């Protein structure tokens, strides 16, 4: 009986010592004073966070917020309640996650409270990715943030050194990341809009060098043929983050099967190596490849010992003029490296067409984008 009483008193003492969110922020004012001041100005948000249970709050440091206040985002947050809600919800994880919960896996993901359709076009809530390496935990949505953790009555808090940006549209994210050849191809085929509108997407994006390598093949493709190739890079209805892909197959939006394999620790899709993973976008996830996939050569296999893989297309000649555009390819929304969308929940609903074939007439009216030298003249398709 004495031991039961003793442990009860220990538990009661532990509860009594637990700090509220405000107390934690105040105790760490050297790094979180700006966060406390901002929350104090947002009474409803502060009240909700203070009363919440079972959450992990990703709290930007003074340095992170100082950088943020030097941008246009604070004004947009003040004028757009939907964006403000999305921004705050993306900094709150559904569950209590300590450092020890992440270190066992090199890369993993955790669900946030972001589920506003204008900012998370998926059947699941939007996630953030975490990477643990050499004892350091990094949260990232295209960028990164170092963290420590502090417990409070509602869960735990990680101090992050960079504000997390809400994932944006596929095309905007690709432009900011520098994958402009893929954006040019999507716009040329007139499927950039449909791709951004569809939900639950996994997109495999060849890098610029991959498009250069098959420039001579692309230059003779019709819009319809290019669309078929591009659709082979999409998986509809599934958000396949890197930790969910090992080996096996997935049916592409084009209809042919994509083959996944792991060789020497590297992930391949058909014969193309995955060189960057988990670019989070509002409707799914993007992975970057070092080769363009060919639906007519779905059985292509990699040479895992080679630094670069042979293109999956035959009869190629080398192009040397690089990736060029007859008009600048720029984001259609204001984005940072992490891609912040400007759409709101009250925006008109975008139709959701199927990615099946390009619209040649629409392509002739488009921007006149060159994907690779020799590809860009729309008159070539008239």
Do 376 and 293 belong to one domain?
yes
Q: Residue 282: which CATH number?
A: 2.30.180.10
Do 359 and 312 belong to one domain?
yes
Do 183 and 153 belong to one domain?
no
2 within some domain:
no
11 within some domain:
no
What is the residue whose two structure tokens read 């990477």?
131
Tell me the pLDDT tens digit for each residue of 113-157: 998 888 888 888 888 877 766 666 777 664 445 566 899 999 999
Share of the chain above pLDDT 90, in %: 46
Tell me the pLDDT tens digit for each residue of 357-373: 333 333 222 222 233 32
Range with the lowest mean pLDDT among 102-111, 144-153, 341-350? 341-350
Give the confidence band of 51 by pLDDT, cuts at 50, 70, 90. very high
191 within some domain:
yes
With vertex at residue 141, the alpha carbon angle to CA 46 and CA 179, rounded to the nearest 5 degrees, is: 145
pTM, whole model, 2 decimals? Answer: 0.75
Do 317 and 375 belong to one domain?
yes
Taking the mean position of all CA atoms in its chain, how far away is CA 365?
30
* Domain-terminating residue out of 126, 160, 194: 160
What is the residue whose two structure tokens read 């249970």?
53
The total of structural domains in the chain comes to 2
Q: Give me the domain span that covers residue 81.
A: 16-160
* Nearest partner of 256 among 297, 287, 227, judged by Cα: 297
pLDDT for 325 equals 34
Do 144 and 181 belong to one domain?
no
């Amino acid at each position: 009986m004495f031991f039961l009483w003793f442990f009860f008193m220990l538990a009661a003492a532990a509860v009594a010592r637990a700090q509220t969110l405000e107390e934690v922020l105040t105790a760490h004012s050297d790094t979180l004073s700006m966060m406390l001041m901002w929350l104090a100005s947002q009474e409803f948000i502060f009240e909700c966070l203070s009363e919440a249970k079972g959450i992990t709050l990703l709290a930007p440091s003074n340095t992170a917020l100082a950088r943020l206040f030097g941008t246009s985002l604070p004004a947009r947050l003040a004028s757009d309640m939907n964006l403000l809600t999305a921004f705050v919800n993306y900094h709150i994880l559904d569950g209590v996650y300590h450092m020890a919960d992440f270190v066992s896996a090199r890369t993993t993901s955790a669900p946030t409270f972001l589920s506003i359709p204008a900012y998370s076009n998926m059947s699941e809530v939007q996630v953030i990715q975490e990477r643990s390496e050499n004892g350091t935990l990094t949260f990232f949505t295209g960028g990164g943030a170092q963290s420590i953790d502090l417990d409070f009555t509602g869960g735990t808090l990680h101090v992050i050194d960079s504000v997390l940006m809400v994932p944006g549209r596929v095309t905007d994210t690709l432009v900011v990341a520098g994958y402009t050849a893929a954006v040019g191809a999507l716009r040329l085929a007139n499927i950039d809009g449909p791709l951004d509108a569809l939900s639950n997407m996994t997109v495999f994006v060849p890098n610029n060098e991959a498009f250069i390598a098959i420039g001579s093949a692309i230059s003779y493709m019709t819009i319809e043929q290019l669309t078929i190739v591009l659709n082979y890079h999409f998986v509809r209805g599934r958000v396949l983050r890197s930790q969910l892909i090992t080996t096996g197959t997935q049916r592409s939006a084009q209809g042919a099967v994509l083959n996944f394999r792991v060789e020497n620790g590297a992930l391949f899709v058909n014969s193309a190596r995955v060189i960057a993973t988990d670019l989070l976008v509002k409707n799914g996830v993007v992975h970057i490849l070092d080769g363009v996939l060919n639906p007519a050569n779905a059985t292509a296999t990699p040479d895992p010992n080679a630094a670069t893989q042979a293109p999956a297309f035959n009869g190629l000649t080398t192009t040397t003029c690089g990736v060029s555009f007859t008009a600048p390819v720029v984001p259609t929304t204001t984005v940072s490296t992490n891609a912040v969308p400007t759409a709101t929940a009250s925006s008109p609903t975008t139709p959701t067409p199927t990615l099946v074939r390009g619209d040649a007439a629409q392509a002739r009216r488009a921007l006149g984008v060159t994907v690779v030298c020799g590809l860009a003249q729309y008159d070539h398709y008239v």
